[in-house]
């Protein structure tokens, strides 16, 4: 099935908001085995919208629209589509009650515009909106399908995941199964080299690799008439990938590195403290992103200046002078001081040169030392990261998390 995604909204054409819906839907549709051939965006303009839908249907079987369903947009999308498909608008009692309930719960008045949101093209499949007022809908006619979703990403995503995927799978008479493996410590191109034979042979399941700031992931998607077979195909492929790059895999459930680390801290009831220099609090901030982490995360001492390293962590002046703030000796001295102070089960220190200035031939920008202390284990690693200041800091953070993960 050939598909196009049509985003409706003048604010997109003004550049006021980023179109994340098209990316999201494209990724999901590709995983369902639906080819996306076009993204189009048009403003809240009836004539141009009508012309674009008609033109687009010349090239594809299915259009998914987002936006133009809100109460202030005069139900633009619904009106135009009911016109194109020649359907009258009928009040949908179920949607009407839902919208009424939505306003009642929020103790707000319902405007005539909101009532209009309950009118839907005749014989459409109505999609409930569990996160807002505008219902979506699906219309089918003469081998053509149009699926209309609201614009706000949260409403759109939930409607798509909960209702549209099922519709498409039924339509295609196919069960789709998808899993995402996450890896750290291997680049995308070297990952692809390692699993090249699997990628070459791929057909069902399909394999797609993605890279994002130091982490790479592999999405494996199978399709089958039979649910069990779809799952088996994916699991079997994961086994094959494990054989090749297993040591880099930290999750087969699309978890982030931080989630895996915190899960392990919880499982083992361990406490953690940090001493951060070049990351400046970024690692602590990452841990405290996670609700309820306070039982495991004790503190982070962001010792940016040398004086702070001396005072907070007891790093000796002569060490800073002789070896420098960015050195194995300082990193180890930091982590020992941190342990002495906090008694946390796991202590981690980082010190490095994030740039763009401050690098020398001997100690270039991107040089980072990370030390970890856990029981009797003390590990110190030296890294040379490339990229801008932000990238070096993020790589440092991820490498620190990875070192914690490795000892747990």
Cβ nearer to a second copy, comparing 50 with 140: 50
Cβ nearer to a second copy, comparing 52 with 249: 52
Cβ nearer to a second copy, comparing 210 with 242: 210
- Cα 218–Cα 401–Cα 267 angle in degrees, nearest 5: 90
Smallest distance, a second copy to C-beta of residue 175, A: 21
Smallest distance, a second copy to C-beta of residue 101, A: 22
Smallest distance, a second copy to C-beta of residue 127, A: 21
Cβ nearer to a second copy, comparing 225 with 307: 307
Cβ nearer to a second copy, comparing 17 with 196: 17
Calpha distance 32→174 (Å, rounded)? 9
Residue 54: count of CB within 10 angstroms of its CB: 10
Smallest distance, a second copy to C-beta of residue 91, A: 31
Cβ nearer to a second copy, comparing 98 with 179: 179
- Paired tokens of 160: 């798509």
Calpha distance 115→112 (Å, rounded)? 5
Calpha distance 311→372 (Å, rounded)? 20
Question: 189-216 burial, b if ≥16 CB within 10 A, otherwise e?
Answer: eebbeebeebbeeeeebbbbbeeeebbb
Smallest distance, a second copy to C-beta of residue 35, A: 8
Calpha distance 307→309 (Å, rounded)? 5
Calpha distance 180→224 (Å, rounded)? 18
Smallest distance, a second copy to C-beta of residue 277, A: 9
Question: 388-398 burial, b if ≥16 CB within 10 A, otherwise e?
Answer: eeebbbbbbbb
């Amino acid at each position: 099935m050939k598909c196009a995604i049509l985003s409706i909204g003048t604010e997109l054409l003004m550049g006021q908001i980023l179109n994340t819906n098209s990316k999201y839907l494209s990724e999901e549709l590709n995983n369902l085995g639906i080819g996306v051939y076009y993204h189009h965006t048009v403003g809240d303009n009836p004539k141009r919208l009508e012309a674009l839908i008609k033109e687009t249907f010349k090239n594809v079987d299915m259009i998914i629209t987002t936006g133009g369903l809100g109460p202030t947009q005069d139900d633009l999308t619904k009106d135009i589509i009911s016109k194109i498909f020649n359907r009258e608008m009928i009040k949908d009692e179920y949607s009407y009650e839902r919208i009424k309930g939505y306003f009642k719960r929020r103790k707000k008045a319902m405007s005539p515009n909101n009532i209009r949101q309950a009118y839907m093209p005749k014989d459409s499949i109505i999609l409930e909106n569990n996160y807002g007022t505008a219902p979506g809908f699906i219309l089918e006619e003469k081998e053509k399908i149009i699926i209309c979703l609201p614009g706000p990403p949260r409403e759109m995503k939930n409607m798509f995941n909960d209702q549209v995927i099922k519709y498409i799978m039924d339509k295609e008479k196919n069960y789709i199964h998808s899993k995402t493996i996450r890896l750290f410590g291997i680049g995308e191109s070297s990952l692809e080299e390692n699993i090249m034979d699997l990628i070459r042979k791929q057909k069902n399941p399909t394999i797609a690799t993605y890279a994002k700031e130091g982490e790479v992931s592999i999405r494996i998607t199978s399709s089958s008439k039979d649910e069990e077979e779809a799952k088996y195909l994916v699991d079997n492929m994961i086994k094959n990938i494990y054989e090749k790059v297993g040591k880099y895999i930290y999750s087969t459930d699309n978890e982030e590195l931080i989630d895996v680390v915190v899960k392990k801290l919880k499982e083992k009831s361990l406490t953690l403290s940090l001493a951060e220099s070049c990351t400046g609090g970024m690692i602590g901030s990452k841990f405290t992103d996670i609700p309820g982490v306070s039982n495991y995360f004790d503190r982070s001492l962001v010792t940016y200046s040398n004086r702070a390293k001396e005072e907070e962590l007891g790093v000796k002046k002569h060490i800073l002078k002789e070896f420098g703030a960015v050195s194995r000796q300082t990193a180890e001295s930091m982590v020992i001081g941190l342990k002495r102070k906090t008694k946390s089960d796991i202590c981690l220190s980082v010190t490095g040169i994030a740039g763009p200035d401050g690098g020398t031939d001997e100690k270039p920008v991107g040089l980072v030392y990370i030390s970890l202390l856990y029981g009797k284990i003390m590990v110190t690693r030296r890294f040379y990261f490339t990229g801008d200041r932000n990238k070096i800091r993020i790589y440092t953070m991820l490498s620190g998390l990875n070192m914690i993960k490795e000892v747990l």
